Structure 1
């Protein structure tokens, strides 16, 4: 008697979007050494998918597996992909080999970013799902700032490496961030779409606006953003 694969009944539409997020993260990582700008656009597209799966989970229902899939996909899209993106820019701009001192330092910073992101996602899945807030900078936010910054013309390796190192610390820092409300996430999604589809229009207005919004949330959300109860998977 033929049986369906277990995932057919276990996964929802939101989970399918989460799985697509992981695929986009892989594409970003694969493209990073070839075209950092294109890879950055895929990171932002993965961020759109990451927001969309939460909206869908709230509208059509979530599954017990969703929160685990979400964090696994985020490892690919917002830990590994941005780390490779920054490392690739360093290699392309400075022409350094991974075996050189500078290359090894850049590789170490990228690896530290991945480690901090993985730890942060594990803690989030264990303690913060559906709470409406989380401790430490979100991996999605860190990846968005790095990708939007690159598309906005910030290609200085020293600055990108410094930002990556800072985010590695902020992702595990004891600072509470309220979850982005659905309404605000949708607005951000529109700006992200512009940064993905037409990153160069009007002197890069969409990546610059996205970077400004992301930095504003990064700097002010712990103290001034209104807390809510819209946990990512509620």
Structure 2
């Protein structure tokens, strides 16, 4: 007997489901090596863009938008939240700093809750639009992961950042989709931050942090769109 998905899901869906598995591996890796977990989060961001490219070339399926949002929960909701929680639990103890430790767990939990909320709203209301309300989950996750690779692993940095993203993901701030060429540049920088180590790897982590933060701050007001050629950093073009 064949699995139910045979003949119903396409190649793009396979990439999406693989991305969900990468998100789980990133969660596991976070308890061992924060740098490795951050690289896996960025690898998931690259895969998130790749499934859109595959969908445009090979076609998508009705299940695609739902699979994409579910995968994003793992890779860009739970995994980056785990980065923050592990950094907090390693730095703060229940005996010495119980309030900080509680925040170090509660804020990442809120981040996951808001990521799930944002992805549900996106799938229901924004999937066919050229812009979306709230900070895209992939953008938030990429900034947190890039910060870790750039050396900003202190919970006093990561916990407030996660709290800020939790609020921004469900805000009404409108983000336009990235142009295809800009998404490609972002993907190349992400890939180099993933594969390179040492001083050179940190340089590309800083570059990614700068580019993603610039889009976070300036995108809603200054990023102009053309009528064609969109490719989103926040959600896969598969869902358009």
- TM-score, normalised to structure 1, is 0.94
Give the direction of change, closer, same or farther, for the CA distance of 1:173–1:199 in structure 2 (3 Å limit): farther
Query: Secondary structure at 2:128's aligned position in 1?
Result: coil
Q: How do 1:42-57 and structure 2 match up within 5 A?
A: 42-57=40-55
Select the residue among 196, 209, 212 that pairs with 1:211.
209
Cα distance in 2 for partners of 1:61, 1:225 equals 28
Q: Which residue of structure 2 lines up, in the alignment, with residue 133 of structure 1? A: 131
Cα distance in 2 for partners of 1:160, 1:215 equals 14
Query: Secondary structure at 1:177's aligned position in 2?
Result: strand
Q: Unpaired runs of 5+ in structure 2?
A: 232-236
Q: Which residue of structure 2 lines up, in the alignment, with residue 165 of structure 1? A: 163
Cα distance in 2 for partners of 1:73, 1:102 equals 30
Cα distance in 1 for partners of 2:17, 2:201 equals 33
Q: Which residue of structure 2 lines up, in the alignment, with residue 149 of structure 1? A: 147
Cα distance in 1 for partners of 2:69, 2:85 equals 23
Q: Unpaired runs of 5+ in structure 1?
A: none
Give the direction of change, closer, same or farther, for the CA distance of 1:96–1:147 in structure 2 (3 Å limit): farther
- How many aligned residue pairs are there? 232
Query: Secondary structure at 2:6's aligned position in 1?
Result: helix
Q: Which residue of structure 2 lines up, in the alignment, with residue 100 of structure 1? A: 98
- TM-score, normalised to structure 2, is 0.91
Q: Which residue of structure 2 lines up, in the alignment, with residue 119 of structure 1? A: 117
Q: Which range moved further: 123-132 or 196-205?
A: 196-205
Q: Which residue of structure 2 lines up, in the alignment, with residue 196 of structure 1? A: 194
Cα distance in 1 for partners of 2:55, 2:94 equals 44
Give the direction of change, closer, same or farther, for the CA distance of 1:203–1:188 in structure 2 (3 Å limit): closer
Q: How much has 1:203 moved relative to structure 2?
A: 6.5
1:55 and 1:182 in contact (8 A); partners too: no
Q: Alignment RMSD, CA only?
A: 1.8
